[in-house]
Structure 1
């Protein structure tokens, strides 16, 4: 066990293989998910996907409105790294998609013990 970790023994899930997305297709949730799925957790050598912090279902895209939204679920309710995870997601999206996209990063409602009323936005 590593000293200082909030969740020293996380559940790690296998990474499913994904089919290639056609390059000419409109931006969709799979494009966004493929961009952020390999971001490593700040406390573990595993990706956010492997820890089920992110899934393709937690990403939505409205290309007509130029809006990307990700809702992630920390592995524990007292996760001190939620803000760091959110900032990593935002930076990766800003680096990989045109600046006209509005990016919303949220923590799933009820997934953080210190959550204020309403959703936790990053």
Structure 2
């Protein structure tokens, strides 16, 4: 039997998927990225240890997502909250979120993924790893790590 960091996680109720896209059929309106859209992209990422999504574990929450737009750049800030302060899967979860957004958003959108402040014992070290583009790129060249990330991103039946 596998050893889990959090053998009995709390499972939360998921939100209904009700989004109105007012600009869907109106080419005159600009449909800007918002926190709800980002949440919809990452809510179904699978937890690496349990057959549950990050939303079901309350690891990702819409109110922990911020979208900022300046004159020149768009920023998406995603904080995520590990289920326990010593979660060994926090880096993999952050990497899965970052890869999902990298694959889903326009390359000009800057994505910043970080652990919610005060929720993990080594949040500073993990946040540095997740901010370092070269380390993330090197991680994605590791076939075992890429397999683990893709497993988190594969939809469940």
TM-score by length of 2: 0.71
Unaligned 5+ runs, structure 2: 24-30, 131-157
1:9-20 equivalences in 2 (<5 Å): 9-20=8-19
Aligned partners of 2:69 and 2:75 also within 8 Å: yes
Shift of 1:35: 0.4
- Kindly report which structure 2 residues correspond to 1:14-29, keeping only aligned pairs within 5 A, or say none: 14-22=13-21, 24=23, 25-29=31-35
Q: Provide the TM-score with structure 1 as the length reference.
A: 0.90
| Match status 1:120 vs 2:134 | no
Cα RMSD (Å): 1.8
Q: Which has more radius of gyration?
A: 2
Q: Aligned-pair distance for 1:23?
A: 6.1
Richer in helix (by share): 2
Q: Deviations over 1:33-88 (max 9, x none)?
A: 10000001100111101101011001111144310010011000100011100110
Cα distance in 2 for residues equivalent to 1:87 and 1:103 = 11
Runs of 4+ in 1 over 3 A off after TM superposition: none
From 86, 101, 105, the equivalent of 1:97 is 105
